[in-house]
Amino acid sequence: MSDSQPCASQPCASQPFDLRRIGKGLPVAETIATLPDTGHVVVQAPPGTGKTTLVPPAVANQVGDAGKVLVTVPRRVAVRAAAARLRALAGPDGAVSASKEAIGYAIRGESRPGSRIEFVTPGVLLRRLISDPALNGVAAVVLDEVHERQLDTDLALAMCLELAVLREDFRVIAMSATVDAQRFSQLLDAPVHTTQAPIHPLDIRYHPLPGRAQGSREFYTEVAREAAQLHAQQPGSTLVFVPGVREVAAVCDSLPQLTPATPVYPLHGQLSSAEQDAALNPAADGIVVATAIAESSVTVPGVRAVVDAGLSRTPRRDARRGMSGLVTVSTSASSAQQRAGRAGRQGPGVVVRCYSQEEFARFAAHAAPEITSADLTQAALFMECWGAGPDFPLPDAPPPAALDDAHRTLTALGATAAAGADSAAVERARDRARQLALMPTDPRLGAALLKHGAQAAATVAALGQSPRGDITRARAPRREVERLARLVRDRGPVDPGAVVAAAFPEQVARLVQPVSGGAGAKQVGAGRTGGAGGARGTEYLLAGGTRARLLDAAGLEGAQWLAIAEVSLAQSGVAVIRAAARITEAAALEAIGVSDTTRAFLDGGKVRAVRTTAAGAIILKETPVQPTPEQAAAALETAGLEIFTFSTRARNLLDRLRHLRQAYGEPWPDPHADLSWAAPEFQAVAEGASASEVDMYAALQRALPWPEAARLEELVPETLAVPSGRKVPIDWSGQRPAVAVKLQECFGLAQSPQLCGQRVQFQLLSPAGRPLALTDDLASFWAGPYAAVRAEMRGRYPKHPWPQDPWSAPPTAKTTAAMKGKRSSQ
């Protein structure tokens, strides 16, 4: 490991970085000399130890002139911050002049090339891999924050590992801030290089606040109050963790009233570069309100106090409704520990957790991999372009159902060919997939941009900012709009609703009805998933079949049709429209497509049909029509025998045939599986007869095989003769034949008769016809349970015989007196 001083003149490509100066005061500097200089490596070091700053130049020194080092950092603000910090530390006397050309970065819409080291987002690296699968000119890729298990990072890691199989000179370094590095060590077949972080004492306090479960605005007001109080007591900066951009704004709005003299800085990925830089270099006594971006990706200097709301925003996919979105959940225990650790890097710190210790004990140990819950359309597109096979080395396999849904979406976008397509169609799909993969947008938005041209760029760029409410009121950075517009031809003006509909045709919706709600309606939009159930709103039916409520109707009042960009589930399970644009009916129907289908069905025992004109699940018109013979036959086949009314005699014959088939097989028919025997009856109903008037007993007789049918009564008799001389009906409706008979009529009967290979089940009844016992083993009943039945029943039914010896007693359905009278008359 070289830590040589830089050359006196302007550095050449192979000039080593001065690791002593760069790593001064960083814990990683104490172990960097032992970083392996060949092969893959897993670097494990807690947040704030300097791994993002020091490991990349160390690897660049190791690879020398072999190529540059690409470093992926999950968030754009962290990419810029990491590059700026390294440039500042790498130049002579801390200046950036010597590192301007050596260290660069690339994020969506902004880049500064670097000849030695380049910090990029995982999405940028993925598109470079698609564009140049060999990564020519790149000697190593360092993947930072792999423990966060973001989907793009997982994909980039898997692609780099496959590339390393083809390029022996290519290295992969995975960096994790948690102790869960061992699984990456196994995946990379690489050693773990560990650095321990000196942590100053932390005073961790649990202050559970009301409203956290609902994520109400009042909860975030109280979070701000905790931050203001803690900041007044603790030296240095205060760092506040909340789950998303809107929550950052809510806390920042409250703080000036609580602590007027304190500088307040928001920190999240949607801020301008200048705003992000201000938050990363706050005044010594400032309060920084951040999303999880400050958890491990970037370091806010001077932090001595942390306030943690204990919440994170994570993607969730509702497979049943075909919806995806971000939901707010309790963060993981490892994330909570990382957040707390931010307060103990530069001295003793204080951490206030806005939840109870019992709640913390229920947190998941680690964050769930994004691949297990996110929409996989973009990931499936990258894997399709890469040619990923079944052994693609992802840390976790994607859920098959979610991946299937993603492939269906890609087929609809023309990015994958349908099964059985010819070679020309396959090649067109490959070109389309590559075109969409290289566009810096979600593939659905990319497809909309390609369809509608440059003037759709403003809407596509706005959708990339996760707007709320009426999309036409959203504004995207002009630079991003211009960048997207340059990617496509100008096709003339286009309505924003048409652009959204082209991206999400299954989310085009028509007004159904207003929805009234009770108390708390105004809380909608403030819940943990962005909405609360039971609130008033306007209901829409989406082309995909989901019903959703529009709750914030500003600018969308009375819209008959909407093109919805985002719909997600509220905590109550109600689907809520988050962002949409008006769209004309003509444009809506063009986006969805209109179909005419005829459905035949049974109504009152007769076949009827309706022609339905629909746009997806949205029914536009229904017209009664005369069913064709084919449609009638199909409806009847679907309905099966249950359309007919079976008399008691017919139902009994149907059950007896079922038992014959099960016991003896051919030639006895299976009347439910093969309905050919009922073809005349089906035909009669198809021609207009009522199904309830058909004689099914006569039809079933046609199903009987001859001459075997002559043994029908022998094999499956309708009645069974019992010892009393009476014939009792046999019930064939169950899994075995059964009879219900008075107990006294079975005296002397030791064995149950067998029919169709099964013993008949006896339900023995009292003289009043109430069940006393159920058995198919009469010998065991007489020898055992009968004594208890006799003891209980003889007092209740004293007029009937209850002999001690049921074997020799005469079977009868009469009373004791009647039996004596009969004997005396004889």
- 610-627 tens-digit pLDDT: 999 999 999 999 999 988
Class at the top of the CATH hierarchy for domain 202-367: alpha beta
- The label of the residue with tokens 């439910």 reads 672
What pLDDT, on a 0 to 100 scale, did the predictor assign at position 605?
66
Between 817 and 392, whose confidence is greater?
392
Q: What does pLDDT average to over the chain? A: 87
Please report, for residues 191, 294, 546, 556, the alpha-carbon distance to residue 318 in angstroms, rounded to integers and kept in the order given: 39, 29, 11, 26
CB 403 within 8 A of CB 458: no
pLDDT at 14: 61
Q: Residue 86 — pLDDT band, cuts 50, 70, 90?
A: very high
| pLDDT confidence band for 524 (50 / 70 / 90) | very low
Q: How confident is the model at residue 493 (pLDDT cuts 50, 70, 90)?
A: very high
* DSSP β-ladder status, 171-176 and 138-143: parallel
Backbone angles phi, psi at 22, to 5 degrees: -65, -40
Report the pLDDT averaged over residues 313-340: 79
Return the structure tokens found at 279. 């938050």
Strands (E), 81-236: 103-107, 110-112, 117-120, 138-143, 171-176, 192-194, 202-206
More confident residue, 211 or 526: 211
Which residues, 6 or more positions from 798, have their beta carbon under 8 angstroms from its beta carbon?
A: none
Tell me whether strands 595-603 and 606-615 are parallel, antiparallel or unpaired: antiparallel
**Residues 699, 489: Cα–Cα separation, whole Å:** 69
Chain centroid, CA 779 distance in Å: 59
* pLDDT (average), residues 399-410: 93
pLDDT of residue 255: 95
Cβ contacts of residue 268 below 8 Å, gap of 6+? 77, 244, 245, 248, 290, 291, 293
What is the pLDDT confidence band of residue 535, given thresholds at 50, 70 and 90?
very low
Dihedrals φ, ψ of 577, to 5°?
Answer: -80, 120
CA–CA distance, 688 with 696 (Å, rounded to integer): 17
Mapped onto helix, strand or coil, the DSSP state of residue 335 is helix
Rounded Cα–Cα distance for residues 225 and 258 (Å)? 7
566 strand-pairing partners: 579
Spatial separation of the C-alpha atoms in residues 126 and 110, rounded to whole Å:
16
Name the percent of the chain lying above pLDDT 70. Answer: 91
pLDDT at 537 > cutoff 90:
no
Question: Hunting for tokens 């007489």 — which residue is that?
Answer: 782
Q: What is the phi/psi pair of residue 779, to 5°? A: -60, -45
| pLDDT value of position 520 | 36
Q: What is the pLDDT of residue 521?
A: 35
Question: Is the separation of the CB atoms in 716 and 691 below 8 Å?
Answer: no
Please determine, for residue 810, whether its predicted confidence score (pLDDT) is greater than 50: yes
Question: What number is the average pLDDT over the span 207-230?
Answer: 92
pLDDT tops 50 at residue 115: yes
Per-residue pLDDT, 1? 43
Q: Is 56 helix (H, G, I), strand (E, B) or coil?
A: helix
Q: With 90 as the cut, is the pLDDT of residue 292 above it?
A: no
Q: Tokens at residue 674, please?
A: 């093969």
pLDDT at 821: 61
At residue 238, the 3 state secondary structure works out as strand
**In this predicted structure, what is the pLDDT of residue 530?**
39
Token code pair at residue 598: 């005829």
CATH superfamily, domain 19-194, is P-loop containing nucleotide triphosphate hydrolases (3.40.50.300)
Both tokens of 134, joined, read 């060999």
Flag whether pLDDT at 637 surpasses 90.
no
DSSP H stretches of helix in 303-356? 333-341
Task: Specify burial of residue 750 (Cβ count, 10 A radius: 0-12, 13-18, 19+).
Answer: middle
What's the CA gap between 720 and 715, in Å, rounded?
12
CB atoms within 10 A of CB 424: 9
**Does 554 have pLDDT greater than 90?**
no
For residue 610 the two structure tokens come to: 């309706």
| pLDDT reported for residue 526 | 33
Sign, CA torsion 489/495/498/504: positive
Measure CA 91 to chain center: 47
Band of pLDDT at residue 533, cut at 50, 70 and 90: very low
| Lowest mean pLDDT segment, chosen from 176-180, 356-360, 368-372, 656-660 | 176-180
Within 10 Å of residue 539's Cβ, how many Cβ atoms? Answer: 17
Residue type, 286: G
DSSP secondary-structure letter at 303?
E
User: How does pLDDT run across 38-80, given as a tens digit for each residue?
Assistant: 999 999 998 878 999 999 999 999 999 999 999 999 988 889 9
374, 151 Cβ separation under 8 angstroms: yes
Residue 509: is its pLDDT beyond 90? Answer: yes
pLDDT of the residue at 11: 39
Mean pLDDT, residues 92-101 = 54
Higher pLDDT: 226 or 46? It is 226
How many C-beta atoms surround the C-beta of residue 257 within 10 A? 11
More confident residue, 352 or 524: 352
Q: What percent of the chain has pLDDT over 90?
A: 63
Task: Check residue 154 and give its pLDDT.
Answer: 97
Give the orientation angle of helix 443-452 with respect to helix 423-437, to 10 degrees: 100
The Cα 314–Cα 243 span in angstroms is 9
Task: Note whether 607 and 600 are within 8 A (CB).
Answer: yes
Instruction: Give yes or no for a contact between 464 and 480, defined as CB atoms under 8 angstroms apart.
Output: yes
Residue 337, burial from CB neighbour count under 10 angstroms (0-12, 13-18, 19+): middle
What is the SS3 assignment for 75?
coil
Q: How far is CA 276 from CA 80, 267, 271, 295, in A?
A: 9, 6, 6, 15
Give yes or no for a contact between 750 and 779, defined as CB atoms under 8 angstroms apart: yes
User: What's the chain's Rg over C-alpha atoms?
Assistant: 38
CA distance 69 to 644: 75
Give the whole-angstrom CA distance, residue 612 versus residue 621: 6
Plot region of 409 (φ>0 → left; ψ -120 to 50 → alpha; else → beta): alpha
Where do the H-state alpha helices sit in 215-258? 217-233, 245-258
- The answer, yes or no, to whether residue 529 has pLDDT greater than 50, is no
Report the candidate in 229, 102, 217, 117 with the shortest Cα–Cα distance to residue 173: 117
* Exposure on the CB side of residue 661, measured as CA atoms within 13 A: 16
What per-residue confidence (pLDDT) applies to 319? 63
What does the pLDDT average to over 488-506?
Answer: 96
